[in-house]
């Protein structure tokens, strides 16, 4: 373990979402220097405060992202990237509507892959180059319990599975440059987006099937991120944070 990781910025991408908001708030409360990025911030989150530097940016545009980081970080060091960009999407490969088979929309497939794979890739690529120049840093990408395959989430599961393979590639390539790359695959964390996406009945079923006997809490998530940042012998790993639940 090492304590030197506290000496740079914590960058939370996707900080306008429930999980990203929770992570940014946690590290700010821990007296870390936090930069929160998203294309939209929900005022209900109460994220914007004096302890967190925020920037509204569309990270799908790499030039805009680069210019934003140049302005906010300059020649400073990003110690940790929490790459929490993404959105849940439910749509099966094939469904029956009005007595007819309906295939997964190609448009929504492209949108979900863009949001959950391409944009996180753009962010990590830009940050990785900055970390490499400083010869150090930690990237934590966000996968999902759905990466193993979840019926009804074709595009979302595909994107999250790709995140895991890409994370291992980044870890292998960037290790010699002092940059570690891992991913977290959360199960059902008790935040508002989970309850909006999953019915109460289904959540109760998931809890009953979870060996840990409960939903994940924000503290479980932030504790896992802190571990991945602090332990210098962990890279190329996907940490399953799902209470033991298996969807398939």
Q: How far is 219 from 23, CA to CA, in rounded Å?
A: 9
Which domains, and CATH codes, for the chain? 4-241 (3.40.50.720)
pLDDT tens, position by position, 147-188? 998 888 999 999 999 999 999 999 999 999 999 999 999 999
Give the percent of the chain with pLDDT over 70: 94
What does the pLDDT read at residue 141? Answer: 98
What angle do helix axes 62-72 and 119-133 make, rounded to 10 degrees? Answer: 40
Residue 56 has pLDDT above 80, yes or no: yes
Cα dihedral 84, 86, 87, 89 sign: negative
Residue 1 has pLDDT above 80, yes or no: no
Task: List residues with catalytic annotation.
Answer: 156
Report yes or no on whether pTM surpasses 0.85.
yes
Confidence of residue 6 (pLDDT cuts 50, 70, 90): low
Per DSSP, the three-state class of 144 is coil
pLDDT tens, position by position, 64-109? 999 999 999 999 999 999 999 998 888 889 888 888 999 999 999 9
What does the pLDDT read at residue 2? Answer: 41
């Amino acid at each position: 373990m090492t304590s030197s990781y506290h000496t740079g910025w914590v960058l939370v991408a996707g900080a306008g979402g429930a999980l990203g908001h929770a992570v940014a708030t946690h590290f700010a409360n821990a007296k870390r220097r936090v930069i929160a990025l998203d294309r939209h911030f929900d005022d209900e989150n109460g994220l914007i405060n004096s302890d967190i530097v925020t920037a509204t940016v569309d990270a799908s545009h790499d030039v805009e992202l680069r210019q934003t980081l140049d302005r906010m970080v300059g020649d400073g060091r990003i110690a940790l990237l929490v790459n929490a960009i993404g959105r849940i999407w439910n749509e099966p490969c094939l469904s029956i509507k009005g007595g007819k088979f309906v295939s997964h929309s190609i448009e929504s497939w492209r949108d979900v892959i863009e949001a959950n794979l391409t944009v996180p890739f753009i962010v990590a690529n830009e940050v990785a180059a900055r970390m490499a120049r400083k010869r150090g840093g930690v990237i934590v990408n966000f996968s999902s319990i759905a990466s193993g395959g979840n019926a009804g989430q074709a595009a979302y599961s595909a994107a999250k599975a790709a995140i895991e393979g890409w994370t291992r590639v980044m870890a292998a390539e960037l290790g010699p440059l002092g940059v570690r790359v891992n991913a977290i695959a959360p199960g059902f964390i008790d935040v508002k987006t989970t309850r909006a996406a999953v019915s109460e009945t289904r959540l109760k079923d998931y809890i009953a099937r979870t060996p840990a006997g409960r939903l994940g809490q924000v503290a479980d998530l932030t504790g896992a991120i802190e571990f991945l940042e602090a332990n210098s012998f962990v890279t190329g790993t996907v940490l399953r944070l799902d209470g033991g639940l298996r969807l398939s």
